[in-house]
Structure 1
């Protein structure tokens, strides 16, 4: 049985510490995506509103990568290469945090959902918008 998690502020960042942030929310569920980039990065998605996210280090410390539709902004540390958060295609007004980059989070206590990112367009058909904290890609 999974324990209910209350809303709180989480701290996170990249491996070398050049990128640090805080995010406020109720982290109960993450999404795993099977698309090419998420699979290679091992990303566990948690989408939050931009107002819930606060970058603690200069934005100059962040590099960006885009491909395909160029809507998603895949952000990462140019020093250690870790992708701790990005702007998702499915919710470009939100921030998608990699739960693996948050401090003090027991990933085994979270619910996992699968998102078929290999078939992104088909997976989004009929979807009634992105419910932050639930679906990610």
Structure 2
């Protein structure tokens, strides 16, 4: 589950030194992974390079139940990107 948030609503409290960046193809998206376990907790997505894409399952507490899951056509994501925001 991905949550797009603006930078002013995102604060990394700890663990910055445990992250490693990886970029695919265009290099626009900056994917961050934990060096130890490999979890992909958040990153700067190509679709919204000025925001953060946060993996909701990595947030503290029972927050998953507070979100509505909306299906998204990931195969044709560029044609459907306006549907997420």
Q: TM-score, normalised by structure 1?
A: 0.55
Larger RCO (CA under 8 A, 6+ residues apart): 1
Counterpart of 1:82 (choices 31, 35, 39) is 39
Larger radius of gyration: 1
Q: Which residue of 2 aligns with 1:61?
A: 18
- 5+ long unaligned stretches in structure 2: none
Offset from partner CA, 1:54-91 (integer Å, 9 cap, x none): 12225332111111222111111011111111111111
Q: How does 1:21-100 map to 2 (within 5 A)?
A: 44-57=1-14, 59-100=16-57
Q: Which residue of 2 aligns with 1:23?
A: none
User: Number of residue pairs matched?
Assistant: 85
Offset from partner CA, 1:73-129 (integer Å, 9 cap, x none): 1111011111111111111111111000111124244210122121122223xx3xx
Higher fraction of strand: 1
Instruction: Extract structure 1 runs of 4+ deviating beyond 3 A.
Output: none
Offset from partner CA, 1:26-80 (integer Å, 9 cap, x none): xxxxxxxxxxxxxxxxxx1111110111122253321111112221111110111
Change (3 A) 1:56 1:107: closer
SS of the residue corresponding to residue 93 of structure 1 reads coil
RMSD of aligned Cα (Å): 2.0
Q: TM-score, normalised by structure 2?
A: 0.83
- 5+ long unaligned stretches in structure 1: 1-43
Q: Which residue of 2 aligns with 1:101?
A: 58
